[in-house]
């Protein structure tokens, strides 16, 4: 693994709000830096340097790194330090498999087990997200686009009114997040995702569980395309 501690993140990441716990804010800043590939797989993270950057003690930084370790974004090696986790192909494929099982069930449920008024509410909420994604795509703001992508999937899960579904999807997607972020730099990926999202919503609106399931399955299998490219271009990112 790389030995150099890399701490550089956006300058606005240094500014913490006094009305929220420092650890949760630092967690969010570092998570976004990892997802956005500002901090690369295998790079070392220094607690001391982060504490200096954020103007806090090492305690909230350590708490943030523990949270990041729990979701698989960093790896703490005794006597060696803390590193940004490298990509695990097995974990990425497993996460995609679990997400497909959950999210195909979600859209199928919304298509046939909700009344027309609820389906229209789903459509309206997701159409708004898609509109915001188009703006992010036009600005080539990959992180904003991906956050909206997460919001799209969480919104669909929320409309099932099964409380654990959204949290299970959120827990599994961590292993895919950085790959998804890299995929947005592939030509045509913004347009492809927007088209897939629109297809999912159209299928839900039609009331066809089969069409909704097929549209979601196609969307979540899209990661295979980028997994054919990234290991060749960046083998150093993988375990």
Is the pLDDT at 8 greater than 90? The verdict is no
Angle between helices 189-206 and 209-221 (to 10 degrees): 160
Span 88-135, pLDDT tens digits: 999 999 999 999 999 999 999 999 999 999 999 999 999 999 999 999
CATH superfamily of the 89-237 domain: GntR ligand-binding domain-like (1.20.120.530)
Q: How many CB atoms lie within 10 A of CB 79?
A: 4
Tell me where in the chain the CATH 1.10.10.10 domain(s) lie. 11-84
Answer yes or no: are the C-beta atoms of 129 and 83 closer than 8 Å: no
The contacts of residue 36 (CB under 8 Å, 6+ apart) are 142, 143, 181
Separation between Cα atoms, residue 225 and residue 157, nearest integer Å: 25
Stated as kind and residue range, the H or E segment containing 82 is: strand 81-84
List helix spans (H) across 113-184.
Answer: 116-138, 142-158, 163-183
Mean pLDDT of 196-212: 97
The DSSP secondary-structure symbol of 86 reads: P
Q: How confident is the model at residue 12 (pLDDT cuts 50, 70, 90)?
A: very low
For 11-84, CATH gives 1.10.10.10
Instruction: Residue 130: name the closest of 102, 149, 117 by CA.
Output: 149
The SS3 call for residue 211 is helix
Judge residue 38's burial from the number of C-beta atoms within 10 Å of its C-beta, 0-12 exposed, 13-18 middle, 19 or more buried.
middle
Tell me where in the chain the CATH 1.20.120.530 domain(s) lie. 89-237
5 φ/ψ angles, rounded to the nearest 5 degrees? -75, 125
pLDDT at 50: 93
Residues in the chain: 239
15 φ/ψ angles, rounded to the nearest 5 degrees? -95, 110
pLDDT at 3: 46
For the entire predicted model, the pTM comes to 0.85
Span 133-183, pLDDT tens digits: 999 999 999 889 999 999 999 999 999 999 899 999 988 887 788 888 888
Separation between Cα atoms, residue 23 and residue 64, nearest integer Å: 5
pLDDT at 1: 42
């Amino acid at each position: 693994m790389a030995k150099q501690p890399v701490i550089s993140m956006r300058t606005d990441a240094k500014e913490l709000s006094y009305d929220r716990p420092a650890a949760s804010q630092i967690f969010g800043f570092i998570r976004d830096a990892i997802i956005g590939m500002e901090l690369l797989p295998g790079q070392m993270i220094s607690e001391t340097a982060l504490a200096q950057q954020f103007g806090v003690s090492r305690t909230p930084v350590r708490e943030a790194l523990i949270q990041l370790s729990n979701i698989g974004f960093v790896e703490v090696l005794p006597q060696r330090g803390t590193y940004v986790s490298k990509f695990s192909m097995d974990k990425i494929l497993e996460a995609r498999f679990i997400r497909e099982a959950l999210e195909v069930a979600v859209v199928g449920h919304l298509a046939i087990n909700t009344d027309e008024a609820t389906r229209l509410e789903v459509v309206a909420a997701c159409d708004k997200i898609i509109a915001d994604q188009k703006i992010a795509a036009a600005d080539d703001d990959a992180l904003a686009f991906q956050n909206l992508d997460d919001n799209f999937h969480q919104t669909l899960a929320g409309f099932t009114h099964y409380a654990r579904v959204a949290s299970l999807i959120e827990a599994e997607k961590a292993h895919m997040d950085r790959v998804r972020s890299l995929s947005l730099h592939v030509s045509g990926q913004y347009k492809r995702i927007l088209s897939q999202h629109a297809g999912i919503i159209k299928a839900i609106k039609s009331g066809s569980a089969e069409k909704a399931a097929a549209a979601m399955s196609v969307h979540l299998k899209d990661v295979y395309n980028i997994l054919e490219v990234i290991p060749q271009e960046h083998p150093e990112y993988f375990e």
